[in-house]
Structure 1
């Protein structure tokens, strides 16, 4: 395993909202006003959680003919795109061709209390579109990590098309993986695509060429480092959710790995699946984290809880 230091003391965290058992929160998207949209693997639902009024957590939409939601990404202001399909959480596998992409317009929610939701594309070439990332706002192009087939897809929303953009060994599953989740979290940062490969314990990047139509050679940044989703701060540090280890670990741009929240034997961030920083001015130090409550691997072999949304104050790490 890669050597990982531990921040002492760990960063302070606070639970904003916890959902009942069993709730597997898979991903999140932070709105420009600080509210948080969360997707569920354990139900075909997207909720809105308001950190300033957590008691007003509301179901935005329950999707039909699917069982689970996965990635979510904002493409235009307050227009979010979310993927959903038929998934078996016991085997971590999906029904072939079952995934679709929907648009959630939150502007109408602010006006009327109901978001406008419409199906925009069938993602029938993708096994499971785990992570979603924006590539081009003007051209409405997003990227999707197919964690089952081990490939990156380029989704052209405007033209209703999706094709494989990159397929390399560093994105695939090994033979007989313990967890059949290969390429997982993806982010675009300064002309590079970054990704985690959970089943191979890799953190990699490749330069983006021709607007995602081709890529440079793969650089393996970390080996023996099991990550789920992640998010970059303003200093190019990657804040990585380590789902099976119940921790948040920072992959510093300088090279070190530092666990800043959670422990393998504690429930603080049990089954952390994704994270994202607040977008409001003066609030950028707040990191929102979503969890599955240890459903993928009970803490101490037996402890599980409902998935939750929590916030971590990262000030001590950034100024330390």
Structure 2
């Protein structure tokens, strides 16, 4: 049960993250950040029909269409960024959920697949794998094309992982992706050609915060200019670390901003980050110097309940946001809606 007060919120009943499985505490009932872009245009591009639909992560194809993964069912969908038309790309067998997604080659994407319950908010450790979706030269029968829009193949299983979450591609030449393992508080390095994997990033700032009923540490990841940017949810931190060509850290881990509930995010080429804050129902902008400002939404706003992920368009003028519909923390303890993709025009 959640108790709402005039200016303070007590214990959040469920996890504020894309994986969403553990209670944590937070304070302000409305955003403490000034909105530096009050004229942004916010509109719903696409929305699923039923409550319980939960978008976890987003990726963009070269044609501008949006790929989304669902947490409540093991599906990847494609959304036309102009018309909002939605198409099921693939439904994975022997799994319940899809998580991180990242382009690893031209129109080829890696997807995290595993077992997670949106009823109990618990994952099944050891169930997580990385699969490949290839949109190039896809051939299928008419029946197959009704349910599948890309060739699917297995990349690797990571049985040591407790719960894989956000993912980012390193470089196409390296064939490496980095994947957050939120309960373990580490990021795995996976070679998508060989299937070899190992722990690449491991720092106190990525560990779940102490004193939480269940742990959730590192969540979202993004590679920009030899830096891996990361969100750490229960620690309420956003940071980065410089890495070499093998994704090995070559600098100290740097905390850029703190004091909010970061989920998945995107980072522009200049280091400006856009981060979804699931139970705070908002998207925030963080400058490379750590200044935080509100882009859209707010704790008491129904504009985009439960934002889980952000993705910038290639020109940086549009931000796409996926939501859980407020399942983690209904607005004012009551309002929920189906998951949706929100289009925010920044300029």
TM over 0.5: yes
User: How many angstroms apart in 2 are the aligned matches of 1:138 and 1:30?
Assistant: 20
Deviations 1:38-92 (A, max 9, x none): 000110001111122323x111111111101000000101000101101122443
CA 1:163–1:238 in structure 2 vs 1: closer, same or farther (change >3 Å)?
same
When the two chains are superposed, the root-mean-square deviation of aligned CA atoms in Å is: 2.0
CA contact (8 A) 1:10 1:261 kept: no
| C-alpha distance after superposition, 1:190-237 (max 9, x if no partner) | 211111100110111111135213442111111212210111224321
User: Does structure 2 retain, via aligned residues, the 8 Å contact 1:239–1:250?
Assistant: yes
Alignment of 1:244 with 2:279, yes or no, is yes
Contact 2:52 2:339 in 1 (8 A): yes
* Separation in 1, partners of 2:139, 2:40: 33
Residue in 2 aligned with 1:269? 304
Provide the secondary structure at the position in 2 that maps to 1:66: coil
* Residue of structure 2 equivalent to 1:27: 57
Deviations 1:100-146 (A, max 9, x none): 11110112459985311111211212111211001121121100011
Q: Partner residue of 2:66? A: 36
Greater displacement, 84-93 / 266-275: 84-93
> Could you list the runs of 5+ residues in structure 1 that have no partner in the other structure?
316-320
1:23-50 per-residue CA deviation (whole Å, 9 max, x = no partner) reads 0100011111110110001100011111
Q: Residue 252 of structure 2 corresponds to which residue in structure 1?
A: 217
The equivalent of 2:243 in structure 1 is 208
Task: Give the Cα separation in 1 of the matches to 2:63 and 2:71.
Answer: 25
Secondary structure of the equivalent of 2:178?
strand
Q: Flag the 1:178–1:16 CA change in 2: closer, same or farther, 3 A.
A: farther
Q: Which residue number in structure 2 is paired with residue 318 of structure 1?
A: none
Please show how residues 1-320 of structure 1 align to structure 2 within 5 Å. 4-7=33-36, 9=38, 11-19=40-48, 20-55=50-85, 57-108=86-137, 113=145, 114-177=149-212, 180-279=215-314, 283-315=315-347
Could you say what secondary structure the match of 1:253 adopts?
A: coil
Distance change (3 Å), C-alpha of 1:258 and 1:214: closer
Q: Which moved more, 1:84-93 or 1:251-260?
A: 84-93
Q: Is the 8 A contact 1:178 1:199 kept in 2?
A: no
Paired residues, what number? 311
TM-score by length of 1: 0.92
Q: How far apart in 1 are the matches of 2:152 and 2:336?
A: 32
**Match of 2:285, SS?**
strand
Q: Structure 2: how far apart are the matches of 1:305 and 1:9?
A: 25
Q: Distance in 1 between matches of 2:183 and 2:119?
A: 15
Query: Matched residue of 1:170: which SS?
Result: helix
Gaps of 5+ in 2: 1-26
Distance in 2 between the 1:50 and 1:110 partners? 21
Structure 2 length normalisation: TM-score?
0.85
